[in-house]
Amino acid sequence: MRIEEDVKLDFKDVLIRPKRSNLSSRKQVDLHRTYKFKHSKAQYTGVPIMAANMDGVGTTEMAKVLNQHNMFTCLVKNYTESDLGDIVHMSDNFAISTGTSENDFRRLSMIINSYPEIKFICIDVANGYQERFADYVAEVRDAFPDKTIIAGNVVTADMTQELILRGADIVKVGIGTGSVCTTRVQTGVGYPQLSAIIECADAAHGLNAHIIADGGCTCPGDVAKAFGAGADFVMLGGMLAGHDEGGGEVISEDGRNPRIQFYGMSSDTAMDKHHGGVAEYRSSEGRTVTIPYRGPVQTTVLDILGGVRSTCTYVGAPTLRQLSKCTTFIKVNRQINDVFLK
Ligand code: 5GP
């Protein structure tokens, strides 16, 4: 047994120090980024905030709205070819998600045969540390040399590098941080997300590859911190849940306080819904919760983009690209004044 003594940090452990800035308005801030991916050699330009491939979030309806803001969607795994026609013709800003079974590979191949213009594949498992997973990433890389491959999840530099060397262009980072994830309760495994982002981004950037900070963002400030820590993309589940575009049923017992069900992709609810078809998707369970219904996602999107733009003006970053260079984190004991939140 070994103990690492240095304390790892989460979003809640830091704030971003303001710096002198000559930006006078949030309007001056450009949130677009352009990346060239390591293996696919494809070029991407967009606002690198993503909807997670979760029920109620990673839907084609969500992808259509986010695409209007040049944002990205990792679609849920259960879409069939016929579900995808619209979005394929409308947008490049989405990924087809897949697991690692033979059936998953067959489905992926069929979809890409039908729609060769699809640019991104998201290979998603709970535990990216299994040897079999890296082998699978290598197989998908061989089969689809020009597709940009997202692979995860991991939280450490060693495995980030391993996945990149086996063919991933973008590594998805985050274990145990999700809003409806119970990995830490069930297994005791995890890694504070801010430190995971800092360490994995450093590892990936050294190899000219990219990372997604996946999970744990609770507010626009957390999204800004993830970019400040070096994330190339930030993926959101809970923050984009509860909206019309997620397609969930609005529940309201008394006609007031409408709510929507939201659940982790390895929760009992997800297992029941997908008939055990994704039973291996997450090794640990997820939570099922109901959250306030929030109407169209547009308002939330503008709130998130406005928050990140504002962060950029506080630290003097005219573009999102400069945000991490302009970021100094300070460790804090108190985040917010919650006197009226209790
Ligand atoms: P959020 O933005 O809601 O905090 O986190 C979203 C992320 O949580 C997803 O992208 C995914 O990585 C993770 N996640 C989704 N469902 C589950 C689940 O059932 N169990 C676990 N452990 N993680 C989940």
Average confidence (pLDDT) over 270-279: 72
φ, ψ of residue 88 in degrees (nearest 5)? -60, -40
108: CB partners within 8 A, 6+ apart: 96, 98, 121, 140
Question: How far is ligand 1, taken at its centre, from the CA of residue 184, in Å?
Answer: 12
Q: Given the structure tokens 């050699």, which residue do they identify?
A: 41
State which ligand 1 atom lies nearest to the alpha carbon of 153.
12
The closest residue, in CA terms, to atom 22 on ligand 1 is: 181
Report residue 24's pLDDT band, with 50, 70 and 90 as the boundaries: confident
DSSP state of 259: E
φ, ψ of residue 310 in degrees (nearest 5)? -65, -40
194 pLDDT above the threshold of 80: yes
Give the number of other Cβ atoms within 10 Å of residue 115's Cβ.
Answer: 15
pLDDT confidence of residue 255: 75
Question: How far is ligand 1, taken at its centre, from the CA of residue 109, in Å?
Answer: 26
Report residue 285's pLDDT band, with 50, 70 and 90 as the boundaries: confident
Q: What is the mean pLDDT of the chain?
A: 95
Beta bridge partners of 150: 122, 170
pLDDT, tens only, 205-236: 999 999 999 999 999 999 999 999 999 999 99
State which ligand 1 atom lies nearest to the alpha carbon of 176.
22
Question: How far is ligand 1, taken at its centre, from the CA of residue 97, in Å?
Answer: 14
The C-alpha atoms of residue 210 and residue 37 are separated, in whole angstroms, by 8
Six token digits for residue 182: 């119970």
Active site residues per annotation: 181, 183
Q: Output the ligand 1 site: residues, CB below 6 A.
A: 52, 54, 126, 153, 174, 178-181, 183, 214-217, 235-239, 264-267, 282, 284, 286
Report residue 275's pLDDT band, with 50, 70 and 90 as the boundaries: low
106 pLDDT above the threshold of 70: yes
What is the reported pTM? 0.97
257 pLDDT above the threshold of 70: yes
| H or E stretch at 261 | strand 259-263
pLDDT confidence of residue 254: 77
Question: How far is ligand 1, taken at its centre, from the CA of residue 156, in Å?
Answer: 18
Give the number of other Cβ atoms within 10 Å of residue 198's Cβ.
Answer: 20
Positive or negative, the CA dihedral 271, 274, 280, 283 is negative
The closest residue, in CA terms, to atom 15 on ligand 1 is: 264
pLDDT, tens only, 117-131: 999 999 999 999 999
